[in-house]
Amino acid sequence: MLDQTTNLPGLLKDPSLLESRAYVGGQWIDGDDGTFEVTNPARGDVIANVADLSRAQVGKAIDAAYAAQKDWARWTGKERANVLRKWFDLMMENQEDLGKIMTAEQGKPLAEAKGEIAYGASFVEFFAEEAKRVLGEQIPGHGRDKRILVMKQPIGVAASITPWNFPNAMITRKAAPALAAGCSFVARPAAETPLSAIALGVLAERAGIPAGVFNVVPSSSSSEVGKEFCENEKVRKLTFTGSTEVGRILLRQAADQVMKCSMELGGNAPFIVFDDADIDAAVEGAIACKFRNNGQTCVCANRLYVQSGVYDEFAQKLKAAVEKLKVGDGLSEDGVDLGPLITRDAIDKVQEHIRDATSKGATLILGSDKDDADGNFFHPAIVTGATQEMAFAKEETFGPLAPLFKFDDVDDVIAMANDTIFGLASYFYAKDLSRVWKVAEELEYGIVGVNTGLISTEVAPFGGVKQSGLGREGSHHGIEEYMEMKYVCLTV
């Protein structure tokens, strides 16, 4: 660990954004279960002691959301749009401070954290606009005296459980469409990164979002909160981003109420480079796709398949590019590309995958399976000679390891790419148009990046197939997750 303490309030233009209480029903409250520590993963020091809410207090937040929702739904779409737009404006006005809070609790370099604030804010901006465009239908009746109306109405109270890797955007990607639709919202952030979520509550209050419409319930016990969300009859929608393992738990719990769920779960993205690819562009895309957030995203390339004719060139150019990446403390050093991993466990998993691969014949051409720095820092690694028998072919590494697989035939690589229970993001680089169509159609994934390694945007429907999830977030489709459709049959 770096021997330096984090004076976070001293870094902020507006220290009041650094709140450690919960935001429930428009009130700032302490936790009945005391507080839990939030640490800086780069330095290991405690940066905040955050309110630890009990399950009963989470129940009270649900009550507040339930009480506020009906009136919020009576606002016009434009009225909701105006306060959401104000929320967006406040996020962007405070981008620097929100970025510093995120880097302090999550570790990503400040530039990347500020980028996430803009990304997270873009969902608020987008769904502020969508709030005015929730349309119903009139369908020609099945009888001369029948008139058919289709209404779209907000589902009610929505509850979210989100991970530490995108502490701002994973909440706004859910809360923005929910609020735009006229739902109220209870957000439970990851215990590793609650400060960014609480800061969203500070700005929601300033934006004029009514008390009880947006609530933040930090807690050290995620399972208790999950049970409250799934068992409380006032909750009508559960939206989760995280591992498939936890997604399964929540789906089982939500089944008792047949609750409407959105699940953004794990991935194992293939990144395929064909021999007609622009190799330099493919290397640039691989860096962006593999090492974004230090490999800690569900859409990061987890397996890199390179056609044999360009394998050596790609491996050499990728190694040269990765060697230039700077590892360091995103709060105190300029030009840092890779911050710390979130925990020691995250490092252990990367090391485990490297050792598994080399024990099965892979070659480590960059990096080490040992920590080369104290604490949570781990330098990026590349292995060649990767095969489908190695752990990363089935498990998500969720860290800075790039395994290179060699292939010859297009049908073989599609089969290998699809040989996983996951189906979130996939990528490939090629120029031949018939090959592009064939591969894009045959990859079994919710997202396909063609000649790009970055696919994250508020205007597109983000989500997975197979065991990577249910539903879509972002785009005009995203608001449907928070609406119910009502068919009215009028006899006239």
Ligand X SMILES: O=C(O)[C@H](O)CS(=O)(=O)O
Catalytic residues: 264
**Residue 164 found at the interface with ligand NDP (CB under 6 A):** yes
Of 39 and 162, which has the nearer Cβ to ligand NDP?
162
Tell me how far apart the alpha carbons of residues 283 and 278 are, in angstroms, rounded to a whole number: 9
**Residue 123 found at the interface with ligand NDP (CB under 6 A):** no
Binding partner selected for residue 246 from ligand NDP, ligand X, none, CB under the kind-specific 5 to 8 Å limit: ligand NDP
Binding partner selected for residue 458 from ligand X, ligand NDP, none, CB under the kind-specific 5 to 8 Å limit: none
Q: Which of 242, 328, 471, 474 binds ligand NDP (CB under 6 A)?
A: 242
Q: Which of 104, 265, 272, 382 binds ligand NDP (CB under 6 A)?
A: 265
Give the bridge partners for 338, in sequence order: 327
* Smallest gap from residue 211 Cβ to ligand X (A): 29
Of 250 and 331, which has the nearer Cβ to ligand NDP?
250
Q: How many CA atoms lie within 13 A of 178 on its CB side?
A: 30
Tell me how far apart the alpha carbons of residues 156 and 287 are, in angstroms, rounded to a whole number: 41
Q: Which of residues 272-291 bind ligand NDP (CB under 6 A)?
A: none
How large is the C-alpha radius of gyration of the chain?
A: 23
Binding partner selected for residue 396 from ligand NDP, ligand X, none, CB under the kind-specific 5 to 8 Å limit: ligand NDP
Q: Which residues bind ligand X (CB under 6 A)?
A: 165-166, 169-170, 241, 264, 297-299, 456, 462
Of 154 and 218, which has the nearer Cβ to ligand NDP?
218
* Smallest gap from residue 264 Cβ to ligand X (A): 6
Binding partner selected for residue 171 from ligand NDP, ligand X, none, CB under the kind-specific 5 to 8 Å limit: none
Determine the angle formed by the axes of helices 222-231 and 244-255, rounding to 10 degrees. Answer: 30
**Residue 223 found at the interface with ligand NDP (CB under 6 A):** yes
Q: Which of 1, 29, 149, 191 binds ligand NDP (CB under 6 A)?
A: 191
Largest CA distance in the chain: 79
Can you spell out the DSSP letters for 260-294?
EEEEE----EEEEE-TTS-HHHHHHHHHHHHHGGG
**Residue 163 found at the interface with ligand NDP (CB under 6 A):** yes
Of 225 and 338, which has the nearer Cβ to ligand NDP?
225
Can you spell out the DSSP letters for 303-348?
EEEEEGGGHHHHHHHHHHHHHTPPBS-TTT-TT--B---SSHHHHH
**Residue 478 found at the interface with ligand NDP (CB under 6 A):** no
* Smallest gap from residue 105 Cβ to ligand NDP (A): 12
Using CA atoms, how far residue 166 sits from 63, 140, 160, in Å, is 27, 46, 14
Binding partner selected for residue 456 from ligand NDP, ligand X, none, CB under the kind-specific 5 to 8 Å limit: ligand X
On whether the CB atoms of residues 144 and 155 are closer than 8 A, the answer is no
* Smallest gap from residue 68 Cβ to ligand NDP (A): 24
On whether the CB atoms of residues 152 and 481 are closer than 8 A, the answer is no
Binning the chain into helix, strand and coil, the percentages to the nearest 5 are: 40, 20, 35
**Residue 246 found at the interface with ligand NDP (CB under 6 A):** yes
**Residue 125 found at the interface with ligand NDP (CB under 6 A):** no
On whether the CB atoms of residues 462 and 445 are closer than 8 A, the answer is no
Tokens of 272: 């395929």
Report which secondary-structure segment, H or E, holds 95: helix 95-106
Of 40 and 297, which has the nearer Cβ to ligand X?
297
**Residue 222 found at the interface with ligand NDP (CB under 6 A):** yes
**Residue 148 found at the interface with ligand NDP (CB under 6 A):** no
* Smallest gap from residue 163 Cβ to ligand NDP (A): 3
* Smallest gap from residue 456 Cβ to ligand X (A): 3
Report which secondary-structure segment, H or E, holds 215: strand 214-216
Tokens of 294: 């230090």
81 φψ region: left (φ > 0), alpha (ψ -120 to 50), beta (else): alpha
Of 242 and 328, which has the nearer Cβ to ligand NDP?
242
Binding site for ligand NDP (CB under 6 A): 161-165, 190-192, 222-223, 226, 241-243, 246, 249-250, 264-267, 298, 396, 398, 424, 469
